[in-house]
Amino acid sequence: MSDTEAAKPESAPSAEAPAPPAEAPAPPAFAPVVAPRKKKKKEVEAAVRLNKVTKRFGTKTAVDEVTLKIKAGSVYGLIGPNGAGKTTTFSMMAGYLKPTEGSVEMLGFAPTQVDELRSRVGVLPQDAVLPANDLVGEFLLHMARLQDFPPEKAEEAARTVLAEVDGKDWWSQRCGSLSHGMAKRVALAQALLGEPEVVLLDEPTAGLDPRVAYEVRQLIKGRRGRATIIISSHNLQELEEICDAAAILDRGRVVASGSMTELTASSEEVHVKLGRGTKTTGAPWMQQVRDLKMLKRVEIDEERTELVVYFERKETDAETVIAHVLWILLNAQVKISGVTKGRGLEQRVMDLT
């Protein structure tokens, strides 16, 4: 692949697919981002760094001065509505696209330094297209060989990773005959092949049935610490559960980033969902809650029938606040239908995008 312009993986062609637009000439769907024999390794604290990265397609700015620092060994979420720039960001990390401005560093190298990065970066493109005529096993073996696996190790590695996505029975099945979810899992297996140090997963659970999506989450959690995993998903509960930190993108810009605790304000606010019809105005328990010295502010969210209390993280913690607030509510026989620390990632994203 040239290091100039290459297609987004989602527009990468299959045998049947029409040619992509001239703006984005095409790499193979599974262009190996990776590598050869003598790899120089650098000790890096941040596995991935983006410094003021901008990507323009003609007059359209898809990614706008994005700066990110992703800690080695963490699970990092890229969040944002359709068209926010997530896939474009992934494509630049994978080396499929070159930033218009700014720089990307993967494990201390430019994504175009393929010799240094081969087999160290695994990529699941958003709409990965598998070679329809290949058997699943052939495809994975081919990908293993591209990563310099010794031939005697390649099959073992391929079979192991296929088993990890619960697809060991598909070895001899044609890629073209797989269901959407099965193909996604084979593509995911390909991304995980050979224990890469950085794994880019663009919507790995989209279209998977709930059990398999659960297993994929477990698999990602299981790699925490061993690999740096960057993941996008429209399932915000999923990201809240598995990510250590995340960036929220909107129209190409980072509108918030930080640890999941920071993003969800889970160490600064508690939401108590009240039973329907609970009277709050003038209720004596409201005053008792307001009188709690540990709270900075108390609000009622009428629309959600929620009591929201804010506190200073340096002075107390969510558990203590929950204990005190619930004590008052229970004594007043207020009906409670849920308690959450923080506002939840979903609400945060809704507030920002």
CB of residue 91 to ligand ATP, shortest distance in Å: 8
Q: Does residue 83 touch ligand ATP according to CB under 6 A?
A: yes
At closest approach, how far in Å is the CB of 91 from Mg ion?
A: 9
Phi, psi of 51 (to 5 degrees): -120, 110
Residue 126 interacting with Mg ion (CB under 5 A): yes
**Residues in region 79-118 near Mg ion by CB under 5 A:** 86-87
> What is the smallest separation between the CB atom of 252 and ligand ATP, expressed in angstroms?
7
Q: Identify which range of 18-26, 120-128, 131-139, 165-173 contacts Mg ion by CB under 5 A.
A: 120-128
CB of 253 to ligand ATP, least distance (A): 11
- Shortest distance in whole angstroms from residue 126 CB to Mg ion: 5
Residues in contact with ligand ATP, shown as a per-residue x/- string from 2 to 41 under the rule CB under 6 A: ------x--------------xx-----------------
As measured in angstroms, the least distance from the Cβ of 87 to Mg ion is 3
Q: Pick between residue 74 and residue 87 the one whose CB is nearest to ligand ATP.
A: 87
Residues touching ligand ATP, count (CB under 6 A) = 15
Task: Retrieve residue 65's tokens.
Answer: 């001065």
319 binds ligand ATP (CB under 6 A): no
> What whole-number distance in Å separates Cα of residue 258 and Cα of residue 239?
13
The smaller minimum CB distance to Mg ion, of residues 86 and 341, is found at 86
The verdict on 57 binding ligand ATP (CB under 6 A) reads: yes
Residues with Cβ within 8 Å of 9's Cβ and at least 6 positions away in sequence, in order, are: 27, 29, 31, 87, 90, 91, 94, 96, 123, 125, 126, 127, 128, 202
> Which is closer to ligand ATP, CB of 23 or CB of 156?
23
Residue 85 found at the interface with ligand ATP (CB under 6 A):
yes
Residue 60 touching ligand ATP (CB under 6 A): yes
Q: Which does 9 bind (CB under 5 to 8 A by kind): Mg ion, ligand ATP, none?
A: none
> Could you say which of ligand ATP, Mg ion, none residue 147 binds, taking C-beta under 5 to 8 angstroms by partner kind?
none
Q: Binding to ligand ATP by residue 184, rule CB under 6 A?
A: no
What is the distance between the alpha carbons of residues 210 and 188, in angstroms, rounded to a whole number? Answer: 16
281-308 burial, b if ≥16 CB within 10 A, otherwise e?
eeeebbebbeebeebeebebeeeebbbe
- For 41, the token pair is 């390794």
Contact pick of 27, 70, 88, 140 for ligand ATP (by CB under 6 A):
88
